[in-house]
Chains A and B, each alone.
Chain A
Amino acid sequence: MSWWKSYFSQSILLSSIGLIPFHYAQANTVNANHLVSGILSYVTWPSHLNQINFCVVDGTPNFISANIFSPTPQIIQPPNVKFFNYTAEQLLKPIASNPATHCQVFYFVQTSDTTQQQIINRNPLRILTISENNPECSIGSSFCIYMSKKQYKFKVNLDSLKTSQVRVSSKVLLLSQQQEEQE
């Protein structure tokens, strides 16, 4: 799997220059599972929802493990998340022929930020958007996971989040702000 590859390549690279920090070796820093499940847990989903459809766009996620939702962490409500895989082309189709209208989450892997924005504009509201490939986080996804000082962190695009009308607890926003200040 590619995330394994990525992990190994990074580890090898860093160990070769002798810079593996102690805490980086800890299990909780090898992926961004806790960030993604944390973000999902702070979203207030509609009360009638009993399954969160987690739609991965353009490839296999690098930052999170495949078994992130098996089992689903209990902090996510409802505790039932299912993976789906789509491409940007599929999501840019008109609503009628768009197969991804059942998605609650778009998880962009390699999609560019402009394409992300296009997809967001074409699709219905109330979809949580997370991206792995948008370090600027000025257009496109509401949440942007990135790597900084060997740690996974995330930024929040408040405009995008506001437009999406997804209700996210302010605690997350405060934490992301705190993280940005630390840098």
Chain B
Amino acid sequence: MFTPISSQTSLKSYLIKSQAYLSLLIFLVCVVGMTAIAAHTFKKYSEYNLQLIAKALSEQLQAAVVFEDKRAVDETLALFIEKYPLESIQVIDSNEQQISYINDAAKHNFYSPIFETIQSWIISDQAGNTNITHNGQIIAKIKVINSIFPLMTFLKQFLILFSISVVFALMLIAFSTRLIYRKISYSLDTLTETTESVTAHRDFDQRVPLGHIAEFNLISQSFNALLDEIQTWHTHLQQENSHLEHRALHDILTQLPNRAYFNQKLTHLFENRDSHEQFALLYIDNNNFKEINDTHGHLFGDAVLREMAIRLKLALRPDDFLARIGGDEFAVLLFNINKPIYAMTVAQNLLHVSDTPLQIENRTIQFSFSIGITLSSNAKSVEDLIHQADQAMYQAKLSDVQKLSIYDHQSIY
């Protein structure tokens, strides 16, 4: 991951912040709205309820007031204050003389003044007032005052429900923020991952997968197009490179590995050699190449070399390494040669390659070569090995019987 620079704001925190501001705004609007609606509903219901109680009371009290039965009035009031959430009831006759008054002191507590104040804001004073009428005459007035208990209960429930809603809303907001962030983050992450992977492994085959967000998909597509371009260019470059590499390591005439390649291979092989697995190095030199060149010209010389390369290649095992290391000099690396006799056998096979003369442009050209052999177990270094092979080859050249010599340090020194 690219670590974000500290002064930059991360997308996630930006998203969360913006969502938080938005949520707070909505929340405040909801709080104001909900409180207003709740207060209004509470007011309407309370006033309606109070009026209803007052009306019912006036019906109940009518006869008692008409017959001036104070006891019946008192009892009815006691019954009502016990049954309904009322703080006090007052009955006044038409001459403003109090007939009866009752209040419930038990419904008072420490917080009463606060709630009474709130209640006085919400509920109209007139809500609990009504007249007792009889045959169209106002015979008395009733004033009913609501208890604060309904308000307390209402506020309690309102606060609880409100808190639950707030917690729920916050959870929803957090969830939705996370969801949105995840979608955006998916697009960004795939882009980042692909970029990193391409950078780290030069794996231009990769493409950014498409996500859910159109804008990011556009970026991804552009990036993919860029990757396409880079890949094409990269492939072309690689081909060019391998071509150049091939040319650097191969001989143009015979298409065999050249001296540089041979040296590289030999060094590698020698450095990683195994005590159980030896290899043999063969030096092959054409005996009469200068003569052929002089007699038939360079073109013929080249043709001889090409033919020689083909024949030698065919006479070898597919794994063996044949290289042209000089004008008419070839070198062979034979693998898995544990005994000199094996190398000798291979070398003898190679000598038979020159049994058939070359037929080039209806000319028969005789040719022959000498082979010097050495085994990797004899040498202490690559130079040593090359030197030994060279020595053996000169030895073979000097021999008249068999143009083949295996390096043996005793025979040299």
Contact assessment for A35 and B67 in the assembled complex, using a CB-CB cutoff below 8 Å: yes
Could you tell me the distance between the alpha carbons of A174 and B66 in the complex, rounded to whole angstroms?
Answer: 13
Contact assessment for A75 and B72 in the assembled complex, using a CB-CB cutoff below 8 Å: no
A76 partner residues in chain B, CB cutoff 8 A = 135
Min CB distance B160 to A, Å, is 43
Question: Nearest B residue to A73 by beta-carbon distance?
Answer: B137
Which residues 71-107 of A sit at the B interface, judged by CB distance below 8 A? Answer: 73-77
Which of A118-126, A131-139, A156-164, A175-183 has 4 or more CB atoms under 8 Å from chain B?
Answer: A175-183
Which residues 357-384 of B sit at the A interface, judged by CB distance below 8 A? Answer: none
**Contact digits for A25-50, partner B, Cβ 8 Å, 1 yes 0 no:** 00010000011001001100000000
Could you tell me the distance between the alpha carbons of A73 and B93 in the complex, rounded to whole angstroms?
Answer: 14
Contact assessment for A28 and B63 in the assembled complex, using a CB-CB cutoff below 8 Å: no
- Counting chain B CB atoms within 10 Å of each CB, the highest count among A38, A74, A178 belongs to A38
A175 partner residues in chain B, CB cutoff 8 A = 63-64, 67, 69, 72
Min CB distance B79 to A, Å, is 11
Min CB distance A114 to B, Å, is 28
A28 partner residues in chain B, CB cutoff 8 A = 68
Could you tell me the distance between the alpha carbons of A20 and B400 in the complex, rounded to whole angstroms?
Answer: 174
Could you tell me the distance between the alpha carbons of A65 and B56 in the complex, rounded to whole angstroms?
Answer: 33
B68 partner residues in chain A, CB cutoff 8 A = 28, 34, 38
Contacts A175-B72, A178-B72 hold; do A75 and B67 have CB atoms under 8 A apart?
no
Q: How would you classify the secondary structure of chain A's contact residues: helix, strand, loop or mixed?
A: helix
Contact assessment for B63 and A179 in the assembled complex, using a CB-CB cutoff below 8 Å: no
Min CB distance B411 to A, Å, is 151
Contact assessment for B135 and A172 in the assembled complex, using a CB-CB cutoff below 8 Å: no
Could you tell me the distance between the alpha carbons of A38 and B69 in the complex, rounded to whole angstroms?
Answer: 11
- A171 on interface, CB distance cutoff 8 Å: yes
Min CB distance A155 to B, Å, is 13
Could you tell me the distance between the alpha carbons of A175 and B72 in the complex, rounded to whole angstroms?
Answer: 8
**Contact digits for A54-80, partner B, Cβ 8 Å, 1 yes 0 no:** 000000000000000000011111000
From the candidates A35, A41, A154, name the one contacting B135 in the complex (CB within 8 A).
A41
Contacts A74-B137, A75-B139 hold; do A41 and B66 have CB atoms under 8 A apart?
yes
- A150 on interface, CB distance cutoff 8 Å: no
Question: Nearest B residue to A170 by beta-carbon distance?
Answer: B63
Min CB distance B373 to A, Å, is 141
- A23 on interface, CB distance cutoff 8 Å: yes
Min CB distance B32 to A, Å, is 49
Could you tell me the distance between the alpha carbons of A38 and B64 in the complex, rounded to whole angstroms?
Answer: 9
Question: Nearest B residue to A79 by beta-carbon distance?
Answer: B135
A178 partner residues in chain B, CB cutoff 8 A = 69, 72, 75
A179 partner residues in chain B, CB cutoff 8 A = 69, 72
A23 partner residues in chain B, CB cutoff 8 A = 70
A38 partner residues in chain B, CB cutoff 8 A = 63, 66-68
From the candidates B63, B70, B71, B135, name the one contacting A74 in the complex (CB within 8 A).
B135
Contact assessment for B66 and A34 in the assembled complex, using a CB-CB cutoff below 8 Å: yes
**Contact digits for B67-87, partner A, Cβ 8 Å, 1 yes 0 no:** 111111001000000000000
Min CB distance A156 to B, Å, is 12
Min CB distance A122 to B, Å, is 30
Min CB distance B132 to A, Å, is 11
From the candidates B64, B66, B71, B75, name the one contacting A75 in the complex (CB within 8 A).
B66
A77 partner residues in chain B, CB cutoff 8 A = 135-136
Could you tell me the distance between the alpha carbons of A38 and B134 in the complex, rounded to whole angstroms?
Answer: 10
- Counting chain A CB atoms within 10 Å of each CB, the highest count among B67, B68, B139 belongs to B67
A182 partner residues in chain B, CB cutoff 8 A = 71
- B90 on interface, CB distance cutoff 8 Å: no
- B62 on interface, CB distance cutoff 8 Å: yes
Contacts A179-B69, A182-B71 hold; do A171 and B136 have CB atoms under 8 A apart?
no
Contacts A178-B72, A179-B69, A182-B71 hold; do A75 and B134 have CB atoms under 8 A apart?
yes
A75 partner residues in chain B, CB cutoff 8 A = 66, 134-135, 137, 139
Question: Nearest A residue to B62 by beta-carbon distance?
Answer: A171
Given A35-B67, A77-B136, A179-B72, 13 other A-B residues pairs in contact with their CB atoms under 8 A: A28-B68, A38-B63, A38-B67, A41-B66, A42-B63, A73-B137, A74-B137, A75-B66, A75-B139, A76-B135, A175-B64, A175-B69, A175-B72
30 residue pairs of the A-B complex, CB under 8 angstroms, read: A23-B70, A28-B68, A34-B66, A34-B68, A38-B63, A38-B66, A38-B67, A38-B68, A41-B66, A41-B135, A42-B63, A42-B66, A73-B137, A74-B136, A74-B137, A75-B66, A75-B134, A75-B139, A154-B67, A169-B63, A171-B63, A172-B67, A174-B63, A175-B63, A175-B64, A175-B72, A178-B69, A179-B69, A179-B72, A182-B71
- The 10 tightest CB contacts between A and B, nearest first, are A171-B63, A38-B66, A175-B63, A34-B68, A38-B67, A74-B137, A77-B135, A75-B134, A75-B137, A75-B135
